[in-house]
Amino acid sequence: MENRDKPAATERLWGARFKALPSDALKALSRSEPSFFRLVPYDLAGSRAHAGELKRAGILDADELQALLREIDAVESGFKSGAIQPVAADEDVHTFLERILTERLGALGGKLRAGRSRNDQAANDLRLYLRDRARVITGQALELQKALVAQAREHLGTIASGFTHLQPAQPVLFAQQLMAHAQAIDRNLGRLADWDRRAARSPLGAAALAGSAICRNPELSAAELGYDAACENSIDAVAARDHVAEFLFATCMLAVELSRLAEETVLWSSAQFRWVELDDGYCTGSSIMPQKKNPDIAELTRGKAGRLIGNLVTMLSAIKSLPLSYNRDLAEDKAASFDTIDTLALVLPAMAGMIATMKVNVERVRRDATSGFTLATEVADWLALNGIPFSEAHEITGALVKFCEAHDIGLEDVTAQHLADVDTRLKPAILERLSLEAAIAARTGYGGTAPERVAEQLERFDARIAAHTNWASEYRGPQC
C-alpha cells in the first residue's frame, strides 16, 4: 500500500493546495522520459536569461545574480560530466534543476522560479533545442550534398537512361540524376532555414499564459538567447506547437527524399542493374547465403522515413482541437522531435558515406542508356522541327519503334533504308540525332541535361552549399 498521507512539496514544483501525495501511477505517467533531460543545457541557458530579468525587477541584487550565474555554470558542467544526474523524484528537467540549485544555494535557488512557469520554460527549452538541432541537421545533410556533388562532377560525361514509371524514357547525364536528389535535399534545408525565421520568437515572459508581472522586458532575454524577438501574444507563446509540427514536416520531407535516393541506390546496386558498386564498409552480408552483399544502409534509411512520417502525424494529432492555452497533451512534442532528430543523426552520416564511396560502372550505365528505345523522342522532335505536326510525328516514330522491335534492332542501329521503309518523311538526316551524345547535347535549355547546363548547375550549387553553411555557422543561440 502506497503512503500518500503527507505531501512533500520539496520533490515537485506544485502541490501546496493538495492534501495527499500523487499516486505512483500518476508519477509514472507524469515523469519525463529519460531522453527529455537532454534539454538541461537549454533550460539552464533560459535560467541565465531569466536571472537577468529578476535582477532588472529588483528580486535579485547584483551579488545574488552573480552567485546564481556561477552555480548555473557549475551545474551545467556537472551535468555534462555526469557528476550531476536526475533522480526518480525529479518529475522533469525544471524540477531537477530547481532541486539542485536549492540544495546548493538554499533560498536563493528558490528565487529563480519567480515570474516564470514551466509552461514558458518548456516552450523555450524545446525552441532552443530545435533551433540548435536544425543547424546540426543542416551540417549533416551538407555532407551528403557534397558527396552527391563530387559524384556528379566525376560523371559529367556518363550517359544513363532516365526513367518514368520505372521504364526507360530518355538519355540523361548520370550527373543530372544525382543532382536531382541534391536539389530536392537543398529545398528541405531551405525549409529548415525558413522555419527558423518563424521559430525565432522567445516564449519567455509569457509565464503560465497571461504574461509575467515580474519579468516585463522579455525582449531583452529574447536577444540574450539569440531570438529575433519575443512572442507577441503570451497565450500563443505557451500554447503554440505549430513550430514543432513545421520542424517535423521539414525533417520528414528530408527523410522522404533520402528514402527516394535510397530506393534508387538499391536499384542501381542490384544484379539486374549493376550500375554502381557499394563499398564493403557500407554493406552487410547474409547469415546463410555467402555470396550476398546487401545495401542495408539504403534499406534502413528507406524504412526509417516511415518513422519520421509517424512523428509528424503524432504531433498534428496532439495539437488538433486543443483549447487554449497549455495542456499536457503538448508534452508529446518532445518525444516526436527527439526521435526524428536522433534518427536523422544516424541516417545522414551513413548515407553520405555510402554515396561518397560508391563506384559507378560507367560502361554498364552507358550500355543501358539506349535500352527501351530511349532515342525515340529525338525522332519525333526532328520531325516536328521539320514541319510535321507533332501528332503525326508521334505516330511515325511509333511505327519506327514497331519496325525496330520486329527486326530486333535498336534505334541507334537503323539505316537510311530502314527509315524509308517505314515512312518517306523519315529522312537520312535523322540519323545524326540517333546517338546518345546528340540527344544529350540537344537539351541546352536552363536546367536541361546538356553537359554545359549540368556543369553550370554544379557551379550554382556550390553557392547554395556555402549559403547553408553560413546560415548554420552564424547562429547566435545556445549550442549544446
Residue 27: the pLDDT is 85
List, for residues 354-368, the tens digit of each pLDDT value.
999 999 999 999 999
Residue 173 pairs in a beta bridge with 159
Residue 226: the pLDDT is 98
Domain ranges of the chain: 13-114, 124-155+169-209+237-368, 376-434
- Do residues 60 and 111 touch, judged by C-beta distance below 8 A? yes
- Do residues 203 and 124 touch, judged by C-beta distance below 8 A? yes
Q: What is the CATH number of domain 124-155+169-209+237-368?
A: 1.20.200.10
Residue 4: the pLDDT is 46
Residue 22: the pLDDT is 85
Q: Residue 2's pLDDT band (boundaries 50, 70, 90)?
A: very low
| 6 has pLDDT over 90 | no
Q: Residue 11's pLDDT band (boundaries 50, 70, 90)?
A: low
Task: Tell me how many degrees the CA angle 302-303-307 measures, rounded to the nearest 5.
Answer: 120
List, for residues 451-466, the tens digit of each pLDDT value.
999 999 999 999 999 9
- The rounded Cα 108 to chain-centroid distance in angstroms is 42
- Do residues 211 and 273 touch, judged by C-beta distance below 8 A? no
Residue 390: the pLDDT is 97
List, for residues 243-291, the tens digit of each pLDDT value.
999 999 999 999 999 999 999 999 999 999 999 999 999 999 999 999 9
Q: Residue 14's pLDDT band (boundaries 50, 70, 90)?
A: low
Residue 147: the pLDDT is 98
Chain-wide mean pLDDT for the chain?
A: 95
CATH topology (fold) of 13-114 = Fumarase C; Chain B, domain 1 (1.10.275)
Just list the catalytic residues: 165, 286
Residue 30: the pLDDT is 84
List, for residues 104-126, the tens digit of each pLDDT value.
999 999 999 999 999 999 999 99
Residue 202 pairs in a beta bridge with 230
| 427 has pLDDT over 70 | yes
What one-character DSSP code corresponds to residue 21?
A: P
Residues whose CB falls within 8 Å of the CB of residue 327, separated by 6 or more in sequence, listed in order: none
Residue 7: the pLDDT is 39
| 8 has pLDDT over 80 | no
Section 148-161 average pLDDT: 98
Distance between CA atoms of 318 and 418, rounded to whole angstroms? 66
Q: Considering only 2-6, 147-151, 165-169, 304-308, which range has the smallest mean pLDDT?
A: 2-6
Residue among 15, 49, 42, 50 nearest 212 (CA): 50
Give the residue with greater pLDDT, 17 vs 227.
Answer: 227
Task: Tell me how many degrees the CA angle 400-404-407 measures, rounded to the nearest 5.
Answer: 140
233 three-state secondary structure: coil
| 15 has pLDDT over 80 | no
CATH topology (fold) of 376-434 = Ribonucleotide Reductase Protein R1; domain 1 (1.10.40)
- Do residues 214 and 114 touch, judged by C-beta distance below 8 A? yes
Distance between CA atoms of 402 and 263, rounded to whole angstroms? 32
Three cell numbers, residue 403: 519496325
Same fold, 124-155+169-209+237-368 and 376-434: no
High-pLDDT (> 70) share of the chain, %: 97
274 three-state secondary structure: coil
- Do residues 308 and 251 touch, judged by C-beta distance below 8 A? yes
List, for residues 288-330, the tens digit of each pLDDT value.
999 999 999 999 999 999 999 999 999 999 999 999 999 999 9
